[in-house]
Amino acid sequence: MDFDRINIGLEAISFFRKEQKTDFQKINQLLREQSGVINFFENENDYIQLKQAVEISSPVVCKSPIEYGDYQTNENLATAITKYLSAKQICPQVLIEPTCGKGSFIISAIKTFDSLQQIFGIEIQKKYLWQLKFELLDYFLKNPAANKPEIFLYHYNIFEFEFQNIKSRIDGRELLIIGNPPWVTNSTLSSLNSNNVPVKSNFKQAKGIDAMTGKGNFDIGEYISLKMLDLFSKENGNFAFLIKNSVIKNIVYEQKRNNYPISNIEKLTINAQKEFRAAVDASLFVCRFNTTPEFTAREFDFYSAKPKVTMGWINNKFASDTEKYKKYQRFDGICPFEWRQGIKHDCVKVMELERIDGGFRNALGEEFELEEDLVYGILKSSDLKGESIDTSRKYTIVTQKKIGQDTKLILETLPKTKAYLERHKDHFLQRKSSIYKGKPIFSIFGVGDYSFKPYKVAISGLYKQTRFTLVKPNGTVLLLDDTCYFIGFDTLEEAEKIQHELNKPEIQAFIESFMFTDAKRVITKDLLMRIDLGLFSQQRHRDISLFD
Ligand SMILES: C[S@@+](CC[C@H](N)C(=O)[O-])C[C@H]1O[C@@H](n2cnc3c(N)ncnc32)[C@H](O)[C@@H]1O
């Protein structure tokens, strides 16, 4: 172990400098008394190295890889969280921190809860466990009268850890599972070729196209949270995890199926930018174990305790704001139109074009000519801000009129387009998504008759805004990219009517009541398909012939 890279407190350094014992079993016994940590040194060699290191130590912590989703909780936040739990009369006797890192939660819990008898911490990065051990030693040397629980620290991969051993030791005592699991998704890990994933990595059991398009993508933090709930929610105790809002949403969503005996579910929003320098939305997720299952989470601001909304299941539907949802629930149903996602090509560098004098320029900066036949103006999410649009900044080549169509024939008659695409064949071949496997080389997705409807009512999937934009042709039809959703119409009149209906305040409020603004895709096809246009139009606007 490279002790030079561990933060060791001065008190602990001086303890080891003074300590003359050479037998590591004896020193372990002494350290158990001094720090509570069982088996402080796992072997003699570690102790010898430590003795050498403390003579010259000026420790620093080295950077951790992305694959560990490593965002250590700062001491202030960990303390504010343990104090929050203590104010709720939570008095744990047993504490589990499943990925404890350098142990901010363990240290804060020791300082906050006098009731603690045993602590279990698991962590994959050894340097953090060392840091924690020395901090514990330092703390108890400075505070000899403090309550000193037994502390079991395991240098282990949580995905291989046998939790049954801990479970069998709880024995009805009050448990607290606290922590901040890794902030990384399985797809990031797979792009890093990392094996820091659970064995059953498709635990969401996404199948076929869902697995390909990311519905099988999950956060490691979600996997660990569900694992903890699976294992421990029948114990007496509480759960307090710092996790991404998207993970909280999924846990509450899955609660309908999982039916964990959890209640008093809270989502306390934190400022992840300030606390972790991370551009994600995250919160403290708290719940009580071993109670009658609940299916909603009350949301508060962690710092001010100001209540926000309640999210979760209501009348068999899932809402981001249950109160608002109740008010506008009458619009929940099945949209009579099919919402479509725009064109997907995953080849921005060569397929996203600008028009220049006499030709086109791609994102590589190359200038060239193309026949006009397959060139269409294309709108991106950022173009859908106003009430209507009829011009595009970007253009693309529509190589197929429907999915799977052979591209050879169309290209035969278009030598410039063919030469351009052939020249950039590699870009197409390098597309990672498995949807392109076994398909014609220049394939695109999200294309069909509907793409070429002249009028469209469209919305971005990426932004928090819920207003719909009217897309009109200007000589040629405008298309949308795959960050957008739309319905296509043959006439302006039809499109305007639907846009008008969708932008009404009550529909906007209905959408807000069940959209999750912190999701990667705020607006999804599933969400749009729930807007029962037919229902509200027939009820309130019987004169709209469109729905008759
Ligand atoms: C977001 S950090 C939080 C650390 C600590 N819980 C805290 O609140 O400061 C996630 C921690 O999980 C650890 N970790 C990542 N993958 C792990 C695994 N497979 N087994 C155990 N720990 C892991 C990382 O090393 C890191 O310390």
pLDDT digits (tens, 9 = 90+) for 474-526: 889 999 999 999 999 999 999 999 999 999 999 999 999 999 988 888 999 99
Q: Say yes or no: CB of residue 476 within 6 Å of ligand 1.
A: no
In angstroms, rounded to a whole number, what is the distance separating the alpha carbons of residues 513 and 202?
30
Parse the chain into domains and list their residue ranges. Answer: 3-53, 340-544
Q: Whose CA is nearest to atom 15 of ligand 1?
A: 68
- Find where tokens 């934190």 sit: 270
Per-residue pLDDT, 193:
66
pTM for this model (two decimals): 0.78
Question: Ligand 1 centroid to 343 CA: how many Å?
Answer: 39
Q: What is the dihedral of CA 164, 169, 171, 173, to 10 degrees?
A: -110
Atom of ligand 1 nearest to the CA of 125: 25
Atom of ligand 1 nearest to the CA of 101: 27
Q: Say yes or no: CB of residue 182 within 6 Å of ligand 1.
A: yes
Percent of the chain at pLDDT > 70 equals 90
Per-residue pLDDT, 43:
84
Question: Ligand 1 centroid to 495 CA: how many Å?
Answer: 51
Q: Whose CA is nearest to atom 19 of ligand 1?
A: 157
Q: Say yes or no: CB of residue 154 within 6 Å of ligand 1.
A: no
Name the burial class of residue 126, with classes exposed (0-12), middle (13-18) and buried (19+) by CB atoms within 10 angstroms of its CB: middle
For residue 118, which phi and psi values (nearest 5 degrees)? -140, 140
Q: Say yes or no: CB of residue 98 within 6 Å of ligand 1.
A: no
Q: Which two tokens stand for residue 304?
A: 């001010």
Q: Say yes or no: CB of residue 240 within 6 Å of ligand 1.
A: no
- The beta-carbon contacts of 324-331 under 8 Å, at least 24 apart in sequence, are 324/509, 324/512, 324/513, 325/510, 325/513, 325/514, 327/509, 327/513, 328/506, 328/507, 328/509, 328/510, 328/513, 329/510, 330/535, 330/536, 331/506, 331/507, 331/510, 331/531, 331/532, 331/535, 331/536
Per-residue pLDDT, 464:
87
In angstroms, rounded to a whole number, what is the distance separating the alpha carbons of residues 419 and 490?
34
With the most atoms of ligand 1 within 8 angstroms of its CB, the residue from 99, 160, 184, 243 to mutate is: 99
Q: What is the pLDDT of residues 41-74, one digit of tens each?
A: 888 888 887 877 766 544 433 444 678 889 999 9
Q: Which two tokens stand for residue 466?
A: 């819920």
Cα 314 to its chain centre, rounded Å, is 23
For the beta carbon of residue 503, count every other beta carbon within 10 angstroms. 16
Question: Ligand 1 centroid to 194 CA: how many Å?
Answer: 15
Which parts of the chain have pLDDT scores under 70? 1-7, 54-65, 190-193, 199-216, 534-548
Question: Ligand 1 centroid to 288 CA: how many Å?
Answer: 23
Specify the DSSP class assigned to residue 198.
-
